A = this chain, B = another copy of it.
């Protein structure tokens, strides 16, 4: 009997199409796995078994009637708990919102539900999506399925953990400075931050509206493309929405042949050496670059003058704190007990920073973004390639490395798409990630690189 939770969304979609199973059977298999194992991992805040089974039954009826909606019809998913799903609590990982039950789906959830995807539940996250451990005092310390006692990363830690633990084939996360890609790297799965504005953020509890993105985590590149394609598109009711060119798609031609990346120009920024990467990360990254070269890519060591990763990341943090304070301004004063002291302190810090520090931080961010644009232009790059995070997952309770988002935040500052995929493990068996940062709207191109790279593993 097939172990459905072991399959990808694309494989489940194919099995459903071949009538080898039903959406109900698949959903039941995932729900059983969650029930049996998530007690120790705490990746879910809410499991929506009843809604999921009802949706799966409806999908099966459609299929029996010969009217499926989309390749995702009947395919399970889960979403980070700062993304609204009608009728389920949406907490943002905050005590403040424990009782908050939206009546409408977020735009991205709505698009996926209209495609027939089956929502299994809402996933744990770092409080307010601002933080990197997912050690959430209100909803539980989420564990890294690869190594209990270790963080899955943040802020979309529950999304990374749930996909790694095979509680869902695909999970949605949000990414303001790296919050999709860091948990993907720490948990040994894949994650895509799309181009800014490609996926509507309407119905997502905001952290920093100028940097927030919704993106999928999965165990296959094809799944990332399928979910991104389904969520993408102009949303007149979302002020952050941007219209892609007509004909835009995340679908890519799978890389084939002996040199599938021939003609691809990759830039390896010198900053990788300066952010304090663990030796195991650098070793794995060197091996990954050799593999990419063997696949036909040209890998060029480049300078990216003007990008100071630490300085830019600190700027991004201040903007997250200030825009976060804007988003939660009323509640900071009226319901301070709904925040942890640490989170509240960060928001106050942003609120009190003042005009000039905000302008300065925005300039630092733009400086980094411009440096990246200039590097793409100077070297005719197809992508920048970097480790996703400078370190592997660390134990819960250990000091949080300050440089965690140094290499991911650049893509948020530029709005460029970035995908993280596994590049092996460190000496303790902890997963490591590599990221490709592409051209604006160039999701298909970086997914093709990710596909070629991971197909070699």
Contact = CB atoms under 8 A, between A and B. Distances in A.
Q: Which of A234, A242, A326 has the most CB of B within 10 A?
A: A326
B351 A356 contact: yes
Contact of A239 (B240, B355, B359, B370): B370
Contact of A355 (B306, B352, B366): B352
A271 B166 CA distance: 53
A359 B329 CA distance: 12
Interface string A318-361: 00001101100100000000000000000000111111111110
B236 A360 contact: no
Interface residues of A, number: 35
Given A209-B363, A363-B209, A377 B329 contact: no
B356 A239 contact: no
A363 B234 contact: no
B378 A236 contact: yes
A105 interface: no
Interface string A205-234: 000011000000000000000000000001
Nearest to A362: B210
Given A243-B377, A363-B209, A373-B243, A325 B236 contact: no
Given A370-B241, A373-B243, A359 B322 contact: yes
Nearest to A375: B236
3 nearest A-B pairs in the assembled complex, by CB-CB distance: A326-B359, A239-B370, A322-B355
11 contacts: A209-B363, A234-B377, A239-B370, A322-B359, A323-B359, A326-B360, A350-B355, A351-B356, A352-B354, A355-B357, A358-B359
Interface of A: 209-210, 234, 236, 239-243, 306, 322-323, 325-326, 329, 350-360, 362-363, 366-367, 370, 373-374, 377-378
